[in-house]
């Protein structure tokens, strides 16, 4: 049994996320967590809400609530939506937790002890119209590298180049739009990432199995231009983790907080500690996942994230861990994703363009979305959500292939043999071919799941469903029943066992439908299949079953057209 630590990028607290955010981190992480649990591994799957920084303050002000109250409410909302999508977190924490405050201050103290923190007097943009210093991400302008006119002061999301606000052409406040900006002097702490460049470079070079997307982004930040830059880790804000050296005050840093990108990844560790606290565990129970001197040597740590988060998880967070000089677990594998675009353009939170997670669950159950998103995951390039493609995929893959198979088999058996697995007959050449084909495809499916090749795994799973349909269509038990009822019984017996097998194999992708299939087959046992011949003999003659309700309903043209119009513009 392996021990697998899984984290997905932490969603920001200031609003409900769209489907592009979901497929870029949390959903594929859940797919992997579910699969690894099925294989008998010990899994720790951690996520949280990212609650500090200016966006949280502004969203709270807009809602007319204190920022801590707003964050608590939005955490509850995001947790409920995550449950709706069946995201199987072991713990869904909060970066504003006491555990994260203590750990963040601890890391800062250790980094300072080891010479990796520098105090820098810097010039920072102050907005006279807003009456405040503007964090980098709240200054917008034109990127000097690619010309994108909505680049932020910390990074251009179009070309991913790291920026300083003063690099922007025609900068403006993202809060008020004002161009009445001036540069004032203030003092901040910087993480000396450049001093760790060689260590980071060697570490990344050792990860020969990482996706090209992950490695290429990390290398670009390490070597392009002036190479890896030192990065400010404090801000002039009131909401956040107060700046301290461990438990000691930090002279000159009074009233400042740590930058959200410094404290947010530390919440992966803190969230595991919160899991221990919530479940009556001891520190040793969470430290065995994170401290290599406490048992984490045999842990495989896998992160899931969109490509915009890769620089911070390949460089900044590892620099924090390395620079501490303590035996913390570094990530083993980073599964990164490109962007999911929306119907000819981009998802837009600000414009309300696209489908948001709460809206998706209002119109269709989670499995419909899970299947489409995972089977179209933007792994090797950006992908695009279109309503036509979504409708076709749901109607064909889920309704016509999987749902139709379950319905035809169970209804036919009930009408001819009753609601028990029929006895009689024996398997012939067609059944042996099916078993051999399934053996090949199931093992290929396992390989893709192990390698986290999400789209290939989905395609293989669909091919496994198709095999059952092709077998049923060719074997024609409804015709065979008229002349050879025992032969028809053998066909149906195999097919009912196929439903059970499909439930087990499909559970990581469509957990609700899988549970419904297992319930219909009157079995809760769902261990991963060994030899397929044995798996297709798991339900013996006489075993009861029920006919489930319609597994998946089809999406009509009228519904598709209505949704296409509804989600094209501003969110109400």
Domains along the chain with CATH numbers:
386-535 (1.10.730.10)
Q: Is pLDDT larger for residue 510 or for residue 348? A: 510
Cα–Cα distance, 379 to 443 (Å, whole number): 22
Write down the pLDDT at residue 572.
Answer: 43
113-132 pLDDT per residue, tens: 999 999 999 888 889 998 88
Cα–Cα distance, 60 to 79 (Å, whole number): 18
| Residue 159 is labelled as binding a ligand | yes
Write down the pLDDT at residue 58.
Answer: 83
| Residue 413 is labelled as binding a ligand | no
Write down the pLDDT at residue 347.
Answer: 86
Residue with tokens 């999508």: 85
346 confidence band (pLDDT: 50, 70, 90): confident
In the predicted model, what is the mean pLDDT of residues 351-377? Answer: 95
- The answer to whether residue 110 scores a pLDDT higher than 90 is yes
379-393 pLDDT per residue, tens: 999 999 999 999 999
Cα–Cα distance, 228 to 197 (Å, whole number): 7
Listed in sequence order, the DSSP H helices in 451-537 are 454-475, 477-483, 485-506, 511-520, 532-535
| Residue 47 is labelled as binding a ligand | no
Helices (H) then strands (E): counts for the chain: 23, 18
pTM for this entry:
0.92
Write down the pLDDT at residue 570.
Answer: 57
- The answer to whether residue 432 scores a pLDDT higher than 60 is yes
The set of long-range contacts for 74-78, using a CB threshold of 8 Å and a minimum separation of 24, is 74/13, 74/14, 74/15, 74/49, 75/13, 75/49, 75/51, 77/16, 77/358, 78/11, 78/13, 78/16, 78/17, 78/49
- Of 161-175, 259-273, 391-405, the range with the lowest mean pLDDT is 161-175
Cα–Cα distance, 202 to 211 (Å, whole number): 17
Cα–Cα distance, 124 to 252 (Å, whole number): 17
Write down the pLDDT at residue 501.
Answer: 97
Give the C-alpha distances (Å, rounded to integers) separating 395 from 398, 473, 572.
Answer: 6, 19, 29
151-208 pLDDT per residue, tens: 999 889 888 888 888 899 999 998 889 999 998 888 999 999 999 999 999 999 999 9
């Amino acid at each position: 049994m392996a021990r697998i630590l899984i984290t997905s990028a932490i969603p920001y607290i200031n609003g409900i996320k769209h489907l592009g955010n979901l497929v870029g981190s949390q959903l594929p992480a859940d797919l992997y967590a579910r699969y690894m649990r099925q294989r008998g591994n010990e899994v720790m799957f951690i996520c949280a809400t990212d609650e500090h920084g200016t966006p949280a303050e502004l969203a709270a002000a807009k809602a007319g609530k204190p920022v801590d109250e707003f964050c608590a409410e939005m955490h509850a909302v995001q947790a409920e939506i995550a449950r709706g999508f069946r995201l199987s977190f072991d713990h869904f924490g909060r970066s504003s937790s006491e555990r994260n405050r203590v750990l963040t201050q601890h890391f800062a103290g250790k980094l300072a002890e080891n010479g990796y923190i520098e105090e820098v007097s810097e010039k920072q943009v102050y907005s006279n119209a807003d009456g405040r210093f503007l964090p980098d991400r709240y200054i917008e302008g034109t990127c000097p590298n690619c010309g994108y006119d909505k680049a932020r002061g910390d990074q251009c999301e179009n070309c991913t180049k790291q920026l300083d606000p003063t690099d922007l052409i025609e900068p403006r406040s993202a809060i008020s739009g004002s161009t009445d900006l001036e540069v004032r002097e203030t003092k901040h702490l910087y993480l000396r990432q450049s001093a760790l460049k060689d260590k980071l470079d060697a570490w990344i070079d050792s990860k020969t199995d990482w996706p090209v997307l992950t490695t290429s982004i990390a290398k670009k930040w390490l070597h392009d231009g002036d190479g890896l830059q030192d990065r400010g880790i404090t801000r002039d804000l009131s909401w956040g983790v107060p700046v301290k050296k461990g438990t000691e005050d930090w002279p000159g840093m009074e009233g400042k907080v740590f930058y959200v990108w410094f404290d947010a990844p530390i919440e992966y560790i803190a969230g595991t500690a919160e899991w221990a606290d919530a479940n009556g565990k001891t520190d040793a129970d969470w430290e065995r996942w994170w401290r290599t001197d406490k048992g984490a040597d045999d842990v495989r740590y896998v992160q899931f994230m969109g490509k915009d988060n890769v620089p911070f998880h390949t460089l900044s967070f590892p620099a924090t861990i390395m620079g501490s000089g303590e035996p913390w677990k570094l990530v083993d594998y980073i599964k990164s994703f490109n962007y999911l675009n929306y119907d000819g353009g981009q998802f837009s939170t600000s414009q309300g363009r696209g489908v948001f997670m709460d809206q998706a669950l209002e119109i269709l159950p989670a499995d419909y979305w899970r299947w489409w998103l995972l089977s179209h995951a933007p792994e090797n390039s950006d992908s695009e959500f279109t309503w036509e493609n979504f409708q076709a995929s749901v109607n064909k893959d889920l309704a016509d292939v999987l749902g139709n198979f379950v319905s035809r088999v169970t209804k036919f058996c009930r009408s001819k043999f009753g609601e028990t697995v029929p006895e009689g007959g024996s398997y012939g050449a067609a059944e042996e071919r099916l078993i051999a084909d399934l053996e090949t495809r199931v093992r290929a499916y396992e390989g893709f799941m192990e390698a986290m090749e999400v789209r290939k795994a989905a395609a293989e799973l669909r091919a496994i469903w198709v095999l059952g349909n092709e077998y049923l269509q060719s074997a024609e038990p409804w015709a065979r029943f008229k002349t050879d009822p025992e032969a028809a019984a053998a066909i149906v017996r195999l097919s009912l066992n196929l439903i059970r097998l499909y439930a087990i194999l499909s559970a990581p992708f469509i957990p609700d439908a899988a549970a419904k299939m297992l319930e219909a087959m009157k079995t809760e046992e769902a261990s991963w299949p060994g030899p397929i011949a044995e798996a297709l003999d798991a339900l013996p003659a006489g075993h009861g079953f029920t006919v489930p309700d319609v597994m998946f309903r089809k999406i009509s043209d009228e519904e598709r057209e209505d949704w296409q119009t509804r989600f094209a513009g501003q969110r109400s």
